[in-house]
Amino acid sequence: MAPTWVITGSSSGIGLALVRYNLAQGHNVIATSRNPSKTPDLVREVTSHPNGRWLSLDVTSPKVEIERILQEAWREFDGIDFLVNNAGYSVLGAAEDIPEDRAKEQFGVNFWGAVRTTQAILPLMRSRKSGTVVNISSVAGVDPLPTCAIYSASKFALEAWSESLSEEVRPLGVRVLVVEPGGFRTNFFSDATMQFVPPSSAYSEGPSPVSRTLGKFKSINPTTFTDPIKAAQRIFEVVVGVGMGEQLSDHVLRLPLGPDCYTRVTESHKKRQRELEDVKAIALSTI
């Protein structure tokens, strides 16, 4: 039987690209979104494929509800091989200005949503000593920009959780992969997935890093970014262990995607190494 994927946040972006690519490879795909009725054409496209299903799944639902949905999917396909936690969005603004309730909502989807679905599927994967959890992070989970404090924090949390989880479940036969996309030609920069909190006067007047960065985000032309279909292909290859991912599937935890992401991650690591060397004497002086 063909391998089976569950992909959250399937109605757009990399999630949708993965759904389409994986179906084209002959795999079973259970696409999910919070409100499938909003994308009837996409639902018809996927469900018209013999290997495609589309389920309603809100990652902010109680864990017991998510468990019920995933257990039913597991029974229908006699197992789930790959879970992709892709559901997410961004709230951008000055760290001081973002209200606590907006920050909690951001974490509720980007971090806790992935935790809930993963906790729901792990007992099933452990029972077969096989399976892969793919958590879609972001370059912002490595290199945070001004205005991205809360969004980046949710992705930093996801990365740390994933790294610890990977160590815990590897001996049980379950693998974890963290994908760090840069800028791709998706609708991530639309009003639905990128929300702005207007900056207060301290951050909106003069040459503020906040106002400059917000201006750049609002004027972004995603058509200049890289191809989400190629991103889906690379994710598939690394997860399944074919093509460019043939030699990587057993030992890679993080997968940066896009030239912009690779450059930013590289520069971020260099900066941290310089800072580490600067404080080396202080760090070692506390013996």
The per-residue pLDDT for range 222-242, each reduced to its tens digit, is 665 778 899 999 999 999 999
Backbone angles phi, psi at 255, to 5 degrees: -125, 95
Alpha carbons 39 and 129: distance in angstroms, whole number: 35
Alpha carbons 67 and 73: distance in angstroms, whole number: 10
The per-residue pLDDT for range 129-146, each reduced to its tens digit, is 999 999 999 999 999 999
Please indicate, yes or no, if residue 281 is contained in any of the structural domains. no
Please indicate, yes or no, if residue 277 is contained in any of the structural domains. no
Please indicate, yes or no, if residue 283 is contained in any of the structural domains. no
Q: Which amino acid is at 26?
A: G
Please indicate, yes or no, if residue 155 is contained in any of the structural domains. yes
The domain in which residue 201 lies consists of: 4-259
CATH number at residue 76: 3.40.50.720
61 has pLDDT over 90: yes
Please indicate, yes or no, if residue 267 is contained in any of the structural domains. no
List all residues 6 or more positions away from 63 whose beta carbon is below 8 Å from its beta carbon: 116, 119, 120
Domain count, the chain: 1
List active site positions.
137, 151, 155
Name the band, by pLDDT with cuts 50, 70 and 90, for residue 213.
confident
Alpha carbons 219 and 279: distance in angstroms, whole number: 39
The per-residue pLDDT for range 3-47, each reduced to its tens digit, is 999 999 999 999 999 999 999 999 999 999 999 999 999 999 999
Nearest Cα to Cα of residue 137 among 116, 155, 118: 155
Please indicate, yes or no, if residue 151 is contained in any of the structural domains. yes
Within a 10 A sphere around the Cβ of 99, how many other Cβ atoms? 12
Can you give 72-111 as a three-state secondary structure string? HHHHHHCCCCEEEECCCCEEECCCCCCCHHHHHHHHHHHC
* CA 231 and chain centroid, separation: 12
Alpha carbons 199 and 29: distance in angstroms, whole number: 41
The per-residue pLDDT for range 155-201, each reduced to its tens digit, is 999 999 999 999 999 999 999 999 999 987 655 544 556 788 988 98
Please indicate, yes or no, if residue 270 is contained in any of the structural domains. no
Within a 10 A sphere around the Cβ of 168, how many other Cβ atoms? 11
**Entry pTM:** 0.92
